[in-house]
A and B are shown apart, each in its own frame.
Chain A
Amino acid sequence: MSLPTPSGMSRRHFMRHMAASAATIPALDFIAHMQANAAELKKRNKACILMWMSGGPPSIDIWDLKPGSKNGGEFQPISTKGDLQISEHMPKTAQVMDNLSVRAMSTLREADHGRGRYYMHTAYVPNPTVVHPAFGSVVSYELGTKRKELEIPAFVSIGGGGSSPGFMGMSHAPFLVDNSGNIRNASMGDLGPDRLNQRLSMLGVVEDNFINSQRGESGQAHKDIYQKAVNLMTSKQMAAFKVADEKKEILDMYSPAPAAPGAMGGMGGGNQFGRSLLMARRLVEAGVPFVEVDFGGWDLHANVFQTLKTQRLPALDAGIAGLTADLKQRGMLDDVVLVWMGEFARTPRINQDVGRDHWAASWSVMVGGGGLKGGVAVGETDKDGTSVASDKAYQPGDIWATVAHALGIPLDTVHTSKRGRPMKIANGGTAIKELIG
């Protein structure tokens, strides 16, 4: 007997249809059409990569050095290709600093890890009556939903603990992956595609019966999410997670030292950050509008200089420099905004354990790419780094407003919480005029 083929569930089925309908257009037209589309897609692929320094990085030892001050510490500034100086332990980044800018800011009160993390991710102070979305979820909502060709989630978080989509809802939650690029349960093991198709077509029979049983919308919603999961499992875009496919020269760009012959391009335990950034670039290339990369180990209450010099900064330097140069050589740097921040920074004062403690009153974040002005320092801290000397202390809302501007999201966008409360995008922050030109 013949059986109804369930519609829509099988990617192979879908591909067959594609091929069939393409054949009805003259082949050359079809190819030309595809190429035009590809160019159009590339242009639209605005994205943001957030480099999240979990634990609170000492920006005073990285972007805003204070030589001559008692708070200055062990490091010296060096000149860069931009109009500012940075740490001597960031020499590769110094060479691409014409693309990156540093902004002094003061987040004043949030010097607790959890609260600072929330504030910097959402631009809102924690509040018991509402959970605000991380900015990645906002971008997923604003840009991800418009990218119909995107089969992988619009907000990917690499190596981190994730953040809440808040009132944006679960469909805009970060999709968490570790930097191996392995996605849990994404494979059916050794069952072949025939079995997957058999399962999906049997599933279609039961699902469609339930959907047609006058029981509301949830049956269809379930089918839709399974469709997305199957798309993900079978999507060519999944290759974006496979950093190991990258050429050795590219891997080396992100690594503090070139790989030994035969080794995975320096991508062993020593450079997880570079590996994550490379995955981020691949995801952005595939159309993902927001990728967060977690790089931890900054809660340096003791022994700050030794740790920075030997562990944190070589990886950070190579990662940022590699990503910036790689995006540039691909012509993507003007479309991809880079943001570097943590939940707060560290005390200018050096404690008795040669460490720095939590400090939110005066610190710096780095922003670059995305067509924003590079190589400048906006605002400044005083000579000991203990307060923001410029007339305006920037807040995280101003950073996200700048990012929104670069991504083409209007700054008068207002979202509404589940309770009907209006929420301005980026908490009503303003795009920094020195950066948007």
Chain B
Amino acid sequence: MVRKCQTRQSLAASCGAWFSAAAFTLAFAVVGPTAHAQEKPAPDKAVQGKEFTTGSSDVIITEINRQIREAWKDNEVTPSAVADDNEWLRRVYLDIVGHVPSLEEVEAFSADKDKAKRTKVIDKLLDDPAYVRNWTTIWTNLCIGQQTPRRVSRAGMQKFFREAFSRNRPWKDIVSELVTAEGHYEENGAVNFLLAQMQDQDDGVQMTAKTTRLFMGMQVQCTQCHNHPFNDWKQDQFWQFNSFFRQTGKVDHRKFDAKTGRMVDDYSEIVERNFSGPVYFEKRNGLMQVAYPIYLGAEVDPGDSTDRRKELAKHMITGEKPMIAMAMINRTWAHFFGYGFTRPIDDLGPHNPATHPVLLDFMATEFVKSGYDCKQLMRWIANSEAYNLTSRGTKKNERDNPAAGETALFTHVYVKPMTAEQLYDSLIVATNAHKSGRSGWEQSEKQRQEWLQQFVRTFGTDDGEESNSFDGTIPQALMMMNGQLVSDAVSVKAGSHLGDVLAGKGNEIVKINRLYMSALGRQPTKQEQAAAQGYLKRSREPLSVYQDLFWALLNSNEFIFNH
């Protein structure tokens, strides 16, 4: 949130506050959980209690659990209880496949008596086509934004990720291909990542900033103009990275349109352009400087026979624990937990120490050993004890409140807003809205896209990032309350979920239960059940009561948050 300085506070004083915030972070690192981690490797039995398991026996998960527990102990906090099946199932569906479970899936999971049913569901979801769709959406949005920039093919970018996630390609191959891509934007969809960073003729500044930040978790964008005030990145380092991108060219093809008799946009492509030698940049004092292609100290031949992006990719994916592994661990962890090991998640480095540095290193090393296996990484996280806890906090862990700026200790699961895509797809699952009043895949996909666009807003973070979550605007609330999708959902048209439930077997108690299960993935509480029956008793139009109840459930905070 915006913090407003005292009106009469001088600029210099504010700068001071800025620096002392950084100093605080550094001081924290000294006394943080890690300092103890090496001295006392054995977890305390009393804190550890009974070993938690989802049914998976992977030793890496055991080690993750051990390290998280150690930080609990060091910080004197006690974890919340394990989430009940309903709470956990809704969360794991949203995180892995991007929508809530259907009524049938909730019921089947409740009925399953297998002790290993959680780990079974995780495996099932990772093999679900919706997994591919969800992660294609996530990475397409990260790479090109929610609003497709000019001369970029969203379909091409999606095709690339669809193929990558359905084959579970190693993450290092994916990154390498995105960084080195050349060619037609539909034939080689990978080029769209760089095309999206080529909106301005900016000598590759945006490509440099985005590539280092998104894939390496390094924020060098400030160093375009000056040495970073509180990390080790220097201005020449920005331009050293930048020089790797200077052979990247773009051709925007045009074609003749016979209908209008005019030239219109055709495809775009990335081509190699001739570039050798140094790049030039201006210091703050006005002096011109040169920078050569150097990757974190490793020099690359600046001559014209070097394919610089290939060299860059080679360096990026080499080593036991390269930055791309660290960045991917941190981002994926944050996807599941709402918070990563650093804040922001894409700013790693000695200036911004991780909350669980040993765990981050451990997971990154194992991720590399696994062959950069993204599904394996998600399996580790989703099977971990911390991920299986309830999102309800307790008195004994109220200090673990990252929303208030505290270090995330993962003693309970944090509430996350749904993304627009999660919300839409969840509404569809919960209501069958696509079956009532909608026809055909093409039309429903068009409606989906139109609906999603209402959520796309530039968010004003320091990277010009966009947000597409339900982030609390009035138009979004109005859309949920009065928009077409929810209206259709409560319309009781033939084929609608509400219609099916009301026409189905059972008395009013059963019907109320089923509506709660569909929308919230849980049974109503006694008080909620009684309240709903009370409305039915008093009303002359029981149908309107069911409609309004379903409306209320779909509009509730409990529905719209992932918790």
Contact = CB atoms under 8 A, between A and B. Distances in A.
A173 B459 CA distance: 9
B557 A207 contact: yes
A131 interface: yes
Given A198-B545, A415-B5, A421-B18, A219 B474 contact: no
Contact of B393 (A128, A215, A414): A215
Contacts of B18: 420-422
Interface residues of A, number: 68
Contacts of A226: 477, 481, 555
A229 B477 contact: yes
A395 interface: no
B475 A184 contact: yes
Contact of A128 (B415, B463, B549, B556): B463
A420 B17 contact: yes
A185 B462 contact: no
B260 interface: no
B403 interface: yes
Given A3-B534, A168-B2, A185 B557 contact: no
B474 A175 contact: yes
Given A412-B8, A422-B11, A141 B475 contact: no
A306 to B, nearest CB: 24
A131 B461 contact: yes
Interface string A196-207: 001110110111
Contact of B462 (A165, A222, A233, A419): A419
Contacts of B298: none
B151 to A, nearest CB: 15
Interface string A402-416: 000000001011111
What is the size category of the interface that chain B forms with chain A?
35 or more
A219 B393 contact: no
B478 A186 contact: yes
Interface in B194-228: 205-206, 209, 221-222, 224
Interface in B270-297: none
B88 to A, nearest CB: 15
B314 interface: no
Interface string B1-27: 111110111010011011001000000
B549 A1 contact: no
Contacts of B221: 128-129
B544 interface: yes
Contacts of B393: 214-216
A222 to B, nearest CB: 4
Interface string B542-563: 0011001101110111101101
Contacts of A414: 4-5, 7, 9, 11, 14
Interface stretch (B51-59, B439-447, B524-532): B524-532
Contacts of B47: none
Interface in A341-355: none
Contacts of A418: 2, 460-462
Nearest to A188: B482
A185 B403 contact: no
A183 B473 CA distance: 14
A422 B11 CA distance: 7
Given A141-B2, A215-B415, A414-B9, A170 B459 contact: yes
A389 interface: no
A112 to B, nearest CB: 9
B534 A184 contact: no
A232 B474 contact: yes
B417 to A, nearest CB: 7
Contacts of A183: 478
Most chain A CB atoms below 10 A, which of B487, B527, B548: B548
A214 B395 CA distance: 9
A415 B393 CA distance: 33
A203 B475 CA distance: 18
B306 interface: no
Contact of B557 (A165, A170, A198, A223): A223
A11 to B, nearest CB: 14
A210 B477 contact: no
A166 B544 contact: no
Interface in B34-64: none
B483 interface: yes
A416 B545 CA distance: 48
A413 B7 contact: yes
Contacts of B525: 209
B454 to A, nearest CB: 9
B238 to A, nearest CB: 11
Contact of B528 (A176, A209, A219, A233): A209
A225 interface: yes
Interface in B360-419: 391-394, 401, 403, 414-415, 417
Contacts of B528: 205-206, 209
B548 A169 contact: no
B472 interface: yes
B479 interface: yes
A185 B482 contact: yes
Contacts of A412: 7-8
A419 B527 CA distance: 45
User: What are the 8 tightest A-B residue pairs by CB atom distance, in nearest-first order?
Assistant: A422-B14, A229-B477, A202-B552, A222-B557, A166-B460, A185-B478, A203-B552, A131-B460
Interface of A: 1, 3, 128-131, 133, 141, 153, 164-171, 173, 175-176, 183-189, 195, 198-200, 202-203, 205-207, 209-211, 213-219, 221-223, 225-226, 228-229, 232-233, 410, 412-422, 424
27 contacts: A1-B530, A128-B206, A128-B464, A131-B464, A141-B2, A167-B462, A170-B457, A170-B471, A173-B457, A176-B475, A184-B478, A198-B535, A198-B545, A209-B558, A210-B557, A210-B558, A210-B561, A215-B393, A219-B415, A219-B558, A219-B561, A416-B14, A417-B462, A418-B460, A419-B462, A420-B3, A424-B11
Given A171-B472, A205-B531, A205-B552, 6 more contacts: A167-B461, A170-B471, A185-B481, A185-B483, A215-B393, A219-B415
